[in-house]
Amino acid sequence: MRTALPKVRVPYLLLFPGFAFLFTFFILPIVNLAQTSTQTPISGGDTGQYEQTFAFGNYIDAFLENREQFARSFVYATLATIFALAIAYPLAYAIAFKSGKFKNILLVLVVAPFFTSFLLRTIAWKQILGEEGFLVPTLRNLHLLGPQTTITSTSVAVVAGMTYNFLPFMTLPLYASLERIDPRTIEASGDLYANGITTFRRVTVPLSMPGVVAGTLLTFIPAAGDYVNAAILGSPNTKMIGNVIESRYFKIVDYPTAAALSFTLMAAILILVTLYIRKAGTEELV
């Protein structure tokens, strides 16, 4: 006799393999990272050897030593998110409402640059905006740029690079929520004598809020932890917290500080994200 699987168990059986994997390779490492963050060097040991001493002072030291890079990461990431939103919103709006039968092709084109390695594209920007590109000498000849002023190796270049690289992450969720708007709500607003701007402000924007929230999060989070743009387009004066963590790990082999910094970054982002979602008031994010 075959006993049917009790129905209650089905979702748990489906979840089990994936969650076991995430538990082992996501949760456990984070717990381990927390452990590493309070270790101190073994006295007389080699570099890279640490023991657990619950030195919570690591956090304070790490933060105080790198508060400038922390601040810079959050300022750069916020700026890049704002610029990406400003560029992506009209773009997503145009694709959703004004592109007719070309909609799918245009959507593919938004994602298409993704497939050329993002490092190659960032380096391409570096060369286009660099000393040997054609833009800087042209601007200098037109006296729009001083003879000593450069574009690369500045904070402007780093923010611009991040804006560019995370633009598709902003555009896609915006498009998804704009596309879902029922055109009848916009017609109704017009019937009620709202002009184009009022309709946009009072109907379209509020209805696209889930996309704005998802897009800004998908841009801000990777931007705050990024170090590639700062490494390629920036200078030692534009170092972000990601650059510090990376060099602590690989160059200085200072695992506890790197772990403390990683944990602080993660906590700061989670707190900001939680506050932001509360404020924006969207529950169904994922």
Partner 1 sequence: MSTKVKDASIPTIPFKARLSRWFGRNLLRIYMVFGFTYLFIPVAYTFAFSFNDSGKSNLIWKGFTLDNWQNPCGAPQICTALGNSIKIGLLATTFATILGTMIAFAIGRYHFKGRSSSNLLIFLPMATPEIVLGASLLSLFLVFKVNPGFWPTVIAHVMFCISFVVVTVKARIASLDPRLEQAAMDLYANEFETFRRVTLPLVAPGIAGAALLAFSLSFDDFIITNFNSGTMMTFPKFVYVAAARGIPAQANVIGSSMFFLALAIVIAGQIVNRRKAR
Q: How is 1-60 classified by DSSP, letter by letter?
A: -PPPPPTTHHHHHHHHHHHHHHIIIIIHHHHHHHHHTTEEEPTTPPTT-EEE---THHHH
Distance of closest approach, residue 145 Cβ to partner 1, in angstroms: 19
Q: Is the CB of 177 or the CB of 189 nearer to partner 1? A: 177
Shortest spacing between CB 138 and partner 1, in angstroms: 15
C-beta of 8 vs 143, nearer to partner 1: 8
Nearer of residues 54 and 114 to partner 1, judged by Cβ: 114
Closest CB 91 distance from partner 1, rounded Å: 4
Q: How far is the CB of 115 from partner 1 (least distance, A)?
A: 4
- The distance of closest approach from Cβ of residue 9 to partner 1 in the complex, given in angstroms and rounded to an integer, is 9
Closest CA to 59 of 266, 246, 269, 239: 266
CB-based contact 253:47 (threshold 8 Å): yes
DSSP characters over 201-220? IIIIHHHTHHHHHHHHHHHH
Whichever of 124 and 192 has its CB closer to partner 1, that residue is 124
The pair of structure tokens assigned to 188 is: 């109704």
Q: Which is nearer to partner 1, 20 or 192 (CB)?
A: 20
Query: Among residues 189 and 220, whose Cβ is nearest to partner 1?
Result: 220
The residues near 107 (Cβ < 8 Å, ≥ 6 apart) are 95, 175
SS3 233: helix
Smallest gap from residue 74 Cβ to partner 1 (A): 12
How far apart, in whole angstroms, are the C-alpha atoms of residue 145 and residue 143?
5
Distance in angstroms (rounded) separating the CA atoms of residues 277 and 284: 10
Q: What single-letter amino acid sits at 197?
A: I
